[in-house]
Amino acid sequence: MLSRSFNVLPFLFATKQPQFRPILNLDQVPQAAPLDTTTTIHSSGLITSTIEEHSNIAESVQVTRLQNGVRIISQDLGGAIASIGAYTFAGPAFEPANCPGLGAMLQSAFTLQNSKQTTLNGKKIVNIEEFYPKVHKYHVSAHVNCSRDGWQSRKSSHRIAEEQAKMKSKSSSKKQNSIFGIITASLTNPPIQKAEVETLHNSSDTRLNELRWKQPTEYAKLLLETVAYYLEPLGSPRFVPVENSPYITSAVLQEHHSLYAVSSRTIIAGVNVDHDALVEEYENASIPDSNPPSEPPNTLESEEEVNLKTETRQYTGGERHDHEDRAKVIITKPFMDTETICAVGWLTYGQDRVQLKQYAASLVAKALLDLGLTNDRHHNTGDSCVGSGMNAFYTPFQTAGLLGFTLVSEPAQAPKMLLEAMKLVKGIKNAPQEAVNIAKLNARVSFLNENTVSIQDYCDFLCTCLPPISDSRMVTGLDEVLLAIESVSTTDIKCVIDMMLSHPTSFYGHGEMHRFPSIRHLGL
């Protein structure tokens, strides 16, 4: 009996994902008992064991939509550390096709402003944990962690609120001393002046180079998105291309920010905070809009809503090879070993609520692929040893996603490994029930690791569980996704693989690519 119980308290500890030995033949997967039924899933998303119940059960998720269109979502898990994030839908997907990197640059501006405000208030704000600069496809964000009682600028009370209303000028300076004031400053006044943009250019170029040379598989996955959705909104890069960096000027950033950084496109998320206090803090901050509320809704909003619902139409597929002499550039290989790094993917389902069943099936399909791909294979090449391996990945958007694998290998072995992986992808279509049972367990743990390993991750999850650019307050909670994973069948897996293989293959490779054939020549 495979007995496991999971605790989804992101502020306590990180759940370690079980390691499975690679099995190239899924028929060899040993039989596994069903998941332990002693796990209790509460409506709040807190998972506890019936053997050892926690005394403090998390409160349910609360959502409020204000008159200006902003949505505020929070959940109090009872932890000592609070996490607050502000998310504005102005990410790469909304940038013009002739200016790639604009959304990523704006995210860098928010992060820089966040850091500057923290430094200025360092003597009064001592509870900030750290900042996590991430580039999401749809939104840009500012985020801070702090102690549970350290994020408010004042204690909530009607009497003090009235006094603060009479002392607006003094209140403004006081609000900047709060954690929430840092976020509002980041969203309303990002550093997009001429001198500051030059700093952003330098930092973005440095980060891209570090990603390319130190994390080549992550770099390949990001480039694969630009190939799979070529010149489409989902194909906009999550980084600033070096060749386009000089064209992202202060004026371009200001225009993009003024167009999209409005309340109707903003979500405020909080973990371990009082919901009413969070709403009051936002209302007292009085974040101004670039477009007055009295104006009619922007026509762009309806057009973007259509794009979110028709993401599958953006998928083009394609192939791109970037040859690099990595051994010469990074100078870390004593024997001048060469390597080939590839990312291969196909169109699959997204994480939209209406596709919850297919989303769960895609998570399990990715876990099945992981069961058959090696993580620690090495090939000896004379007097040198080149590390190689394959890993599955799944990048969900709203109604579409990208599922595939990455490959790092000696150039001579790369085509062979790619064909082996392709056989495995096709074999998943007829995976035995025993393998699916193990994959469901793995998918469950992976999902929890990605969304609850830290309080920052769970704060981000609260934002993404709401529909983007919408008035909806419908939340897709952790428990719903976990139950959907548990109900995945072999038929659901077959539907996911059928959808993937019915669309063109997307391929991106860098490193030693002169000897790598076209995937069309490989029959893909």
Domain extent at residue 210: 66-292
Q: What is the pLDDT of residue 160?
A: 45
Residues 36 and 121 in one domain: no
Residues 270 and 226 in one domain: yes
Residues 89 and 237 in one domain: yes
**Domain assignment of residue 301, yes or no:** no
Instruction: Give the separation between CA 121 and CA 124, rounded to whole angstroms.
Output: 6
Residues 479 and 374 in one domain: yes
For residue 108, pLDDT over 90 is answered with no
The residue behind tokens 């794009």 is 307
**Domain assignment of residue 1, yes or no:** no
Backbone angles phi and psi of 158, in degrees to 5: -65, -35
Q: Are 22 and 374 in contact (CB under 8 A)?
A: yes
**Domain assignment of residue 205, yes or no:** yes
Rounded average pLDDT over 432-453? 92
Residues 139 and 175 in one domain: yes
Q: What is the pLDDT of residue 376?
A: 41
CA dihedral 490, 495, 501, 503 (to 10 degrees): -160
Going by pLDDT thresholds of 50, 70 and 90, the confidence category of residue 439 is: very high
Residues 44 and 71 in one domain: no
For residue 402, pLDDT over 90 is answered with yes
**Domain assignment of residue 456, yes or no:** yes
Q: What is the pLDDT of residue 190?
A: 74
For residue 454, pLDDT over 90 is answered with no
Domain boundary (292, 324, 357) is at 292
Q: Which of 259, 309, 283 is nearest to 89 (CA)?
A: 259
Q: What is the pLDDT of residue 333?
A: 65
Residues 325 and 250 in one domain: no
Best-predicted range by mean pLDDT among 74-83, 103-112, 141-150? 74-83
Higher pLDDT, 305 or 227: 227
Going by pLDDT thresholds of 50, 70 and 90, the confidence category of residue 46 is: very low
**Domain assignment of residue 489, yes or no:** yes
Higher pLDDT, 410 or 346: 346
- Here the CATH number for the domain that contains residue 367 is 3.30.830.10
Q: What is the DSSP string of 279-324?
A: HHHHHHH-PPPSS-TTSPPPHHHHHHHHHHHTGGGG---EEEEEE-
Higher pLDDT, 19 or 193: 193
The residue behind tokens 């250019």 is 201
**Domain assignment of residue 11, yes or no:** no
Residues 194 and 343 in one domain: no
Cα end-to-end distance, the chain, whole Å:
41
Residue 344 CA, distance from chain mean position: 19
Q: Which of 430, 387, 388, 424 is nearest to 406 (CA)?
A: 388
Residues 183 and 280 in one domain: yes
Q: Which of 118, 456, 399, 68 is nearest to 266 (CA)?
A: 68
**Domain assignment of residue 518, yes or no:** no
Residues 38 and 127 in one domain: no
Going by pLDDT thresholds of 50, 70 and 90, the confidence category of residue 267 is: very high
Rounded average pLDDT over 33-49? 35
Residues 325 and 376 in one domain: yes
**Domain assignment of residue 521, yes or no:** no
Rounded average pLDDT over 308-313? 83
Distance of CA 477 to CAs 50, 198, 400, Å? 21, 41, 19
Q: What is the pLDDT of residue 493?
A: 94
Higher pLDDT, 46 or 349: 349
pLDDT, one tens digit per residue, over 127-158 is: 333 343 578 899 888 888 888 887 776 544 44
For residue 430, pLDDT over 70 is answered with yes
Domain count, the chain: 2
pLDDT, one tens digit per residue, over 461-513 is: 999 888 887 778 888 889 999 999 999 999 999 999 999 999 999 999 999 89
For residue 38, pLDDT over 60 is answered with no
Instruction: Give the separation between CA 326 and CA 338, rounded to whole angstroms.
Output: 7
Residues 386 and 332 in one domain: yes
* pLDDT, the chain, mean: 76
For residue 12, pLDDT over 70 is answered with no
